[in-house]
């Protein structure tokens, strides 16, 4: 999948990469927010998308969401 390849190439920190991928009704990805919890790096697929104001609470909630769903976060 081209989107996954793009996310992997964008990060230069060594930790596990995580992403929220937004899909069209037919399941095709169209935007993403990619991040790594271990180096606090975040990338957006375009300028149309953002996380709003930065705060540690959002990152903590996202990390707990990933963990509660059995996804490793690299921490």
Question: Each residue's pLDDT tens digit in the chain (75 positions)?
Answer: 455 555 555 556 655 478 888 899 998 888 888 877 777 677 788 888 777 776 668 778 888 888 898 887 765
Closest CA relative to residue 37, chosen from 54, 16, 12, 67: 16
Q: Where are the domains of the chain?
A: 2-68
Evaluated on CA atoms 59, 23, 13, 50, the torsion sign reads negative
| Residue 70 neighbours by CB under 8 Å, 6+ apart | none
The pLDDT of residue 12 is 60
How far is 35 from 25, CA to CA, in rounded Å? 24
Q: What are phi and psi of 27, to 5 degrees?
A: 90, 5
């Amino acid at each position: 999948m081209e989107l996954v390849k793009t996310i992997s190439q964008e990060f230069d920190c060594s930790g596990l990469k995580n992403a929220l991928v937004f899909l069209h009704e037919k399941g095709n990805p169209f935007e993403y927010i990619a991040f790594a919890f271990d180096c606090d790096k975040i990338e957006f697929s375009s300028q149309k998308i953002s996380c709003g104001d930065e705060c540690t609470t959002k990152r903590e909630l996202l990390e707990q969401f990933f963990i509660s769903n059995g996804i490793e976060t690299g921490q």
